Amino acid sequence: MKPAAFEYIVPDSLEQALSILQEHGEEAKILAGGQSLVPAMNFRMLQPTLLVDLNKLEELDHIRRNEAGDLLVGAMTRHRRLEFDNLVAQYAPLLHESIPSIAHPQIRNRGTLGGSLVHADPAAELPVIALAVDAQIKVQSIGGERTIPSVEFFQGMFTTDINPDEILVEVAIPESSARTGWAFKEIARRAGDYAMMGIAVRITLDEDGVCEKACLVYLNAGDGPMEAVEAAKILEGQPRDDQAFEAAAEKASQDEIDPLGNMHANVDFQRHLANVLTLRALDLAFQRADVDRGENL
């Protein structure tokens, strides 16, 4: 398959890229890693007349911390760098844990954080992680910049709150509070495939081991990253407890997610997987929070 004809430009600066986007509007498309855009163009699902390649913009490829302790990750940071970076491992362990589940090393060598978030595939890992860690998403246009909480950024199937003249420039991941545990779990038919179901969990315990805050987000479970708010409420106020885990898993898998089913897994099987993965993820997240609390396992 070959794409429809298009023009191609490689800006030297963010300002130049932004003014090109302002001039060309919806006719132009940003090229990041190309791992989702190029296949869509080859299938002629997308036919932009101009590709604006961001790969020369080194200012969009960074990982650092700010004074508030947030981890700041540039939009053009490749999945591969996230997989091996020490700051990510230390300050965003949930993100770190999820990366090896994304496709294969060849794709992780090219794919970028910004590309995955803007593409907003409901089966993708990174939108789910962004929601679970309460990432703040910075977008920029010629007119200025906006910071969008991830809960508002994702608006449905392949749809986000970004305008054609805007570029996602950076993602800020707030530092976790003490006694926070996390887990990412997914099941795919084969290693590297998109998962049939997946979950990211983050829980924070108080000094007595009671859950203060819980967050459960599912992938391939609806038309975007699906947060199970009611299941989280079941866990909050409870210590580590199998019955609470089972009630939360039941609530999330039966009532809160809305899987669509596909050729690899029908809806009932996806709900079953969600239930099983929730139990496994909660167990691991509570264990990790307990370790952070100084408790022996």
Ligand X SMILES: Cc1cc2nc3c(=O)[nH]c(=O)nc-3n(C[C@H](O)[C@H](O)[C@H](O)COP(=O)(O)OP(=O)(O)OC[C@H]3O[C@@H](n4cnc5c(N)ncnc54)[C@H](O)[C@@H]3O)c2cc1C
Residues forming the site for ligand X (CB under 6 A): 29-37, 39, 75, 102-103, 107, 110-112, 114-116, 118-119, 121, 124-126, 162, 167-168, 194
Min CB(2)–ligand X separation in Å: 17
To ligand X, the closest distance from the beta carbon of 140 in angstroms equals 9
> Quick check: 177 and 91 in contact, CB under 8 A?
no
**What is the nearest approach in angstroms of ligand X to the Cβ of residue 289?**
26
Closest to 285 in 3D by CA, of 225, 235, 228? 235
Which residue, 158 or 269, is less far from ligand X as judged by CB? 158
Report, in Å, the least distance between residue 33 CB and ligand X. 3
In the bound state with ligand X, the residue whose beta carbon lies nearer, of 71 and 168, is 168
Q: Tell me whether strands 226-227 and 144-149 are parallel, antiparallel or unpaired.
A: unpaired
Q: Is 293 exposed, middle or buried (0-12, 13-18, 19+ CB in 10 A)?
A: middle
One-character DSSP codes across 13-67: SHHHHHHHHHHHGGGEEEESS-TTHHHHHHTTS---SEEEE-TT-GGGS-EEE-T
Least Å distance, CB 138 to ligand X, is: 10
Of 30 and 196, nearer to ligand X (C-beta) is 30
Sheet with 50-53, strands from edge to edge, namely 7-9, 50-53, 28-31
Nearest alpha carbon to residue 35 among 113, 137, 98: 113
Q: Which is nearer to ligand X, 30 or 173 (CB)?
A: 30
Q: Which is nearer to ligand X, 36 or 180 (CB)?
A: 36
CB of 291 to ligand X, least distance (A): 29
Nearest residue (CB) to ligand X, 14 versus 276: 14
Q: Report the C-alpha gap between 78 and 45 in whole angstroms.
A: 25
Q: Which residues lie across from 9 on neighbouring strands? A: 52
